[in-house]
Amino acid sequence: MLRTPPDEALVAGRWRRGGGAPAQSLDPATGSPLATVHAVTAEEVAEAARAGAEAAAEPVWRDLLPHLRARFLHRVATLIDDDAEHLAALQTADTGKALTETRALVASAAGTFRYTAAALETAEDALTPSRGAYVTMSVHEPIGVVGAINPWNSPVASDAQKLAPALAAGNAVLLKPAEWTPLVSLALGRLISTALAEHGLPPALLSVLPGPGRIVGDAIVRDPRVGKVAFTGGTATGRALARAAADKLMPVSLELGGKSPTIVLPDADVEQALAGVMFGVFSSSGQSCIAGSRLFVARTLYDDFVGSLVERVRKLRVGPGTSPDTQVAPLVHPAHRDSVAAYVDLARQEGARVLCGGAVPEGPAYDGGAYYLPTVLDGLPGDARTCQEEIFGPVLVALPYDDEEDLVRQANNSVYGLACGIWTRDHRAAWRIARRIEAGTVWINTYKQFSISTPFGGMKESGLGREKGRDGIRAYQRQKSLYWGTSTAPLPWAG
């Protein structure tokens, strides 16, 4: 039987029911309620920030040697591994994702804590060149309290990508999970609380604060004790957060939306490209910021390639995330499914041809669930809203191109710049195009592959800053310069 967390929040290191309004978490496969979670109030956010600032300043945490802090991070990773099957099942129930995917996300979360522990143990400050009678150093110190605000599509992995480096850097963290999918974040919070207690560390170093962004997220961003916010989510929300942060002169990192191009060159391995294009947009049911939702195919190859693609997409198996046969799971919530359906209706109005999908699947197996068929569209100009706006669902728009200049122009015709995929046997063309595409990540003959050691982030309206990599810890620290005088001579105005 699936264990779901009780309707509690972690406020200042203590588990309790939030003082705000209740919200139900729904199973996207059936529409059945999973749990009721009470939101926290703005006053509880302030309490968590106040206690977090005190905890971050305690010598037992502030002065903890890197290898001992790394030991704590390793323990979190072990606890995640030990509870991996429950965490995966919980995320599948809460988000609708297939178990094969949620198991991989849980493993990724554990790996993130382990990598961050290793990076912390080998991180170094530096002596810096100087020409005067002094020695100069550059050192890094914790910010104090940081906010982490995450979306609903991959909570356990997104949480780890913020919590691990923020804690490694010596901070206290206020984590706000998405309102639709708080359960796995609360479960992860329990594991981290266990590790803090085992190591004798202040419990208020972590708070998990469920609730709506307009209340909880806003309170986190505006609290004077919060020195940085890391946000993953929609571009409109990211802009509002950045405006609020500007009033405090507070740094932010923003990982925002995408409308990523996936490109098939004339010489591509067609079988490899077909499988890669489908995986790039229909895995996670398209609910991924890096989904390859705009397909560009050389005009000489276009009709045959798109025809083969449509034939295969029609055969994708739609079903609940708990079924091992499922390839396209339900969307996270009926309201989101309706938003995706509205975009496909808009595409029809814009003149699109619906080559496959474009509807809610029928039959008793889908009753009550938030399902939508994987959809392929074509016949649209590149500036159509369906080609420009992030749909965040299993919807692919196919467009032909004539030559490399035409391809680059069309691919870069977007306010977003998060990711790109290129399918080709020509390594020279791959390099040339990869360097010209405006995207933070480019995959060549693969897609949606990640390494915690490789920085990730976007260009243009896809965000600011980077997560992951060795510098991921430094993103949660402040840099300070120290000058150590070595001369006994007085300074010029001493006498």
> How would you classify the pairing of strands 419-423 and 441-444?
parallel
Rg of the chain (C-alpha set): 24
User: Residue 52: phi, psi to the nearest 5?
Assistant: -65, -40
Residues identified as active-site: 255, 289
Q: Is 333 within 8 Å of 180 (Cβ atoms)?
A: yes
Burial class (CB in 10 A: 0-12, 13-18, 19+), 346: middle
For 378-427, give the DSSP string.
ES--TTSHHHHS---SSEEEEEEESSHHHHHHHHT-SSEESEEEEE-S-H
Q: Is 300 exposed, middle or buried (0-12, 13-18, 19+ CB in 10 A)?
A: exposed
277 and 309 in contact (C-beta within 8 Å)?
yes
DSSP secondary structure of 107-118? HHHHHHHHHHHH
Nearest to 35 by CA among 26, 43, 44: 26
Q: How far is CA 292 from CA 197, 227, 304, 314, 387, in A?
A: 43, 34, 20, 18, 12
Distance between first and last Cα of the chain: 80
Contact predicate 146/174, CB 8 Å? yes
Alpha-carbon gap, residue 216 to 227, rounded angstroms:
16
Q: How many whole angstroms separate alpha carbon 445 and alpha carbon 451?
A: 16
Rounded CA gap, 420 and 404, in Å? 15
Angle at 102 between CA 390 and CA 459, to 5 degrees: 35
